[in-house]
């Protein structure tokens, strides 16, 4: 089933075209990587999908619904969760409370104790069980990223947008993170669209990869296909014919 | 010594009400980044309404109080919906519009209730001998206990309930909260109403002691702003401590220096604190 549909999405900031006619689809159950050089418009695309910014032209459809003009919170309750490259926990709240904020909306009908149980479960899933009372501001980077994941999961997402969850981690932690994402995907039946610069992770885990460059979708395919595509190599490494002339 | 204790007691009693009122400002500033210049007008409204309901409608004092608070909450919601909501995103507009609101409402009070002081009946009468040293009015003691109780309830709601948690989340990071499904507009709406109720509650507990006249509102607003800046813009605990400090300093200043400078003492303390710790006593974030 088609879960996310982007139809000629465009967004400019002043004179800069951050996104230009981006058309793409994500099927339910897929894990799709979104890559591209810095400033390619990856995060802008995430913001448009999550409703944090509105696109100038084009349409975003989620599970058949046109969500282009929906406010952020409504998109979240429909089932799109996102994490940020620069983690944004509610620093003065404990980890448990951070997750409870999301649960108090997504699990409104449940009792207080059930919500607390669910929050503890989620924290355990991401490996933060022992730190549930720690203020989120005191966590180290990887734990903050874990918390960001737990909080996004607490919104009961069908589609999870992960913005560089692995970036900034050391190679041991990268392995751990890949295993965690794979586990979450299976346990929660998630569809994942993720931005990542760590190629090892994105090549290993993604079913399909989208490549953005200067706001345009320049390539789409399996990890194997994308890594050999001339346009992608040019976007990352530059044009050899242009530099030699 | 006996005098000092009396002044301190006065300071704590007053300070508790200051804190109650300032919590409303802290809530509205924290959640919405809106400075409500008409905050004190809700104090005055609650004072007048409780007096009017009790005298004109011959209701008992407690039903009058309950009705006044409900009215204040409702008026607060209307103000948020029709005056504040159109200004979202521009703090200057909301400042100007609430300033205009304060002028209009103050004149309305003068027009409707007249220039003479009004007060609701006292809840209790008589006085207590405190510490075996001096006699202290029962109404003041009851007002103090009520204000302290309301502050505690507010803080418990804020820290222990799902609603309080969501309100704090919006205050910390509005966009992140909305990405987690929280409707920030609805939280604004409710928080503004609740902020007005806190000002109204301060009016309810203080008007039996200090009758209201149409012009007291602006002084109440300024006091609340001083308390919030003193305690730290993003700290509810700061508002409570700031209120107590201001109450005590004002009363000691009035007693030992001059009552003519009553409002000056607060500002001197404020300037000193801002000079030494620009974020306020308990604050982390500087207000922009």
* The predicted structure's pLDDT at residue B182: 95
Span B36-48, pLDDT tens digits: 999 999 999 999 9
In this prediction, residue A96 carries a pLDDT of 96
**Residue A235 has what pLDDT?**
81
**What pLDDT digit, counting tens, does each position of B74-93 carry?**
999 999 999 999 998 888 99
Query: What DSSP line would sit under B19-47, residue for residue?
Result: HHHHHHHHHHHHHH----TTHHHHHHHHH
- Which H or E element spans position A82? strand A80-83
Residue with tokens 């704590």: B12
In percent, the amount of chain B with pLDDT more than 70 equals 99
Residue B253: CB atoms within 10 Å = 21
A88–B178 C-beta distance less than 8 A: no
B245 has a pLDDT exceeding 90: yes
Residues of chain A with pLDDT > 90: what percent? Answer: 64
User: Among A123-127, B56-60, B81-85, which stretch is predicted with the lowest mean pLDDT?
Assistant: B56-60
Show the tokens assigned to A91. 């620093």
From residue B168, give the alpha-carbon distance in Å to each of A99, B31, B81, B164. Answer: 13, 8, 21, 6
Residue B60 is predicted with a pLDDT of 85
Cβ burial, residue B95 (10 Å; 0-12/13-18/19+): middle
**pLDDT over 60 (residue A241):** no
Is B31 within 8 Å of chain A by CB? no
Q: Residue B157 pLDDT more than 70?
A: yes
How many angstroms away from the CA of A74 is the closest CA of chain B? 6
pLDDT of residue B57: 83
- Mind listing the pLDDT tens digit for each residue in A150-164? 999 999 999 999 998
Q: How far apart are CA B228 and CA B285, in angstroms?
A: 13
pTM: 0.90
For residue B92, give both structure tokens: 């200057």
Instruction: For residue A54, give both structure tokens.
Output: 């509105």
ipTM of the complex as predicted: 0.89
Mean pLDDT over residues A69-92, rounded?
93
Note whether A73 contacts B173, CB cutoff 8 Å.
Answer: no
Query: Is the confidence at residue A186, as pLDDT, over 50?
Result: yes
**Measured between alpha carbons, how far is B174 from B183 in angstroms, rounded to an integer?**
9
Euclidean distance between CA atoms B180 and A154, whole angstroms: 8
What's the pLDDT score for residue A227? 83
pLDDT number for residue A236: 79
| Chain centroid, CA B2 distance in Å | 30
Contact A123, A150 (CB under 8 A): yes
DSSP label at residue A135: B
| Percentage of residues in chain B having pLDDT higher than 90 | 73
How far A150 CA sits from the closest chain B CA (Å)?
A: 11
pLDDT at B241 over 70: yes
* Smallest CA–CA distance from A47 into chain B, residue: B179
Quick check: A90 and B172 CB within 8 A? yes
To which residue do tokens 């409303």 refer? B24
pLDDT at B139 over 70: yes
Domain range summary for chain A, segments of one domain joined by +: 2-79+159-244, 89-156
Residue B9 pLDDT exceeds 50: yes
Q: Identify any residues that bridge with A160 across adjacent strands, giving them in sequence order.
A: A81, A192
CB contact under 8 A, B172 and A77: no
Region A122-134 average pLDDT:
93
Predicted local confidence at residue B287, as pLDDT? 52
Yes or no, beta carbons of A100 and B165 under 8 Å apart:
yes
With an 8 Å Cβ cutoff, are B182 and A77 in contact? no
Q: What is the pLDDT of residues A9-55, one digit of tens each?
A: 999 998 889 999 999 999 999 999 999 888 889 999 999 999 999 99
Tell me the average pLDDT across B102-123. 93
Average pLDDT over residues B175-191: 95
Q: Give me chain B's average pLDDT, please.
A: 92
Tell me if B203 sits within 8 A of B18, measured CB to CB: no
Report whether pLDDT(A244) > 60: no
Under CATH, which number does the domain A2-79+159-244 receive? 3.40.50.300
- The whole-number average pLDDT for the span B235-262 is 90
Of residues A74, A102, A112, nearest to B180 (C-beta): A102
Domain ranges of chain B: 2-122+138-215
pLDDT at position A239 over 70: no
Exposure string over A111-136, b if 16+ CB within 10 A, otherwise e: eeeebbebbbebbebbebeebbeebb
Residue A243 or residue B70, greater confidence:
B70
At residue A245, the pLDDT reads: 39
């Amino acid at each position: 089933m088609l879960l996310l549909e982007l139809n000629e999405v465009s967004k400019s900031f002043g004179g800069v075209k951050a996104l230009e006619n981006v058309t793409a689809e994500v099927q339910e159950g897929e894990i799709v990587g979104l890559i591209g050089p810095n400033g390619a418009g990856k995060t802008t695309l995430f913001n448009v999908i999550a409703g944090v910014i509105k696109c100038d032209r084009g349409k975003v459809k989620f599970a058949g619904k046109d969500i282009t003009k929906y406010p952020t919170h409504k998109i979240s309750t429909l089932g799109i969760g996102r994490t940020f490259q620069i983690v944004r926990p509610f620093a003065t709240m404990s980890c448990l409370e951070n997750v409870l904020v999301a649960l108090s909306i997504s699990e409104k009908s449940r009792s207080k104790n059930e919500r607390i149980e669910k929050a503890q479960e989620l924290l355990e899933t991401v490996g933060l069980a022992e730190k549930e009372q720690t203020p989120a501001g005191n966590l180290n980077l990887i734990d903050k990223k874990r918390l960001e994941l737990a909080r996004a999961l607490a919104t009961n997402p069908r589609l999870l947008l992960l913005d560089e969850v692995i970036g900034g981690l050391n190679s041991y932690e990268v392995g751990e993170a890949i295993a965690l994402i794979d586990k979450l995907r299976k346990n929660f039946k998630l569809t994942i669209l993720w931005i990542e610069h760590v190629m090892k992770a994105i090549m290993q885990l993604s079913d399909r990869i989208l490549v953005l460059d200067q706001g345009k979708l320049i390539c789409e395919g399996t990890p194997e296909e994308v890594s050999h595509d001339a346009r992608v190599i040019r976007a990352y490494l530059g044009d050899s014919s242009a530099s030699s002339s | 010594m006996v005098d000092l204790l009396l002044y301190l007691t006065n300071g704590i009693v007053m300070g508790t009400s200051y804190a109650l009122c300032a919590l409303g400002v802290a809530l509205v500033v924290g959640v919405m980044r809106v400075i409500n210049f008409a905050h004190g007008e809700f104090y005055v409204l609650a004072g007048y309404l409780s007096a009017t309901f009790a005298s004109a409608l011959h209701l008992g004092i407690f039903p009058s109080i309950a009705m006044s608070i409900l009215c204040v909450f409702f008026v607060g919601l209307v103000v948020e919906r029709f005056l504040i909501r159109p200004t979202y995103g521009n703090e200057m507009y909301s400042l100007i519009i609430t300033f205009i609101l304060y002028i209009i409402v103050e004149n309305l009070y003068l027009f409707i209730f007249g220039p003479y002081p009004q007060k609701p009946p006292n809840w209790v009468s008589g006085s207590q001998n405190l510490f075996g040293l001096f006699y202290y009015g029962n109404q003041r003691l009851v007002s103090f206990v009520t204000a302290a109780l309301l502050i505690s309830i507010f803080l418990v709601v804020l820290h222990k309930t799902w609603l309080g948690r969501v309100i704090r989340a919006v205050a910390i990071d509005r966009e992140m909260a909305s990405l987690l499904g929280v409707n920030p507009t609805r939280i604004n709406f409710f928080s503004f109403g609740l902020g007005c109720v806190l000002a109204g509650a301060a009016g309810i507990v203080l008007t039996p002691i200090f009758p209201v006249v149409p012009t007291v509102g602006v002084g109440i607003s300024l006091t609340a702003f001083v308390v919030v800046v003193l305690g730290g813009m993003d700290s509810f605990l700061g508002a409570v401590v700031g209120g107590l400090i201001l109450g005590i300093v004002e009363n000691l200043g009035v007693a030992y220096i001059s009552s003519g400078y009553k409002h000056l003492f607060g500002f001197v303390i404020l300037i000193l604190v801002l000079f030494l710790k620009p974020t306020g006593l308990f604050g982390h974030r500087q207000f922009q």
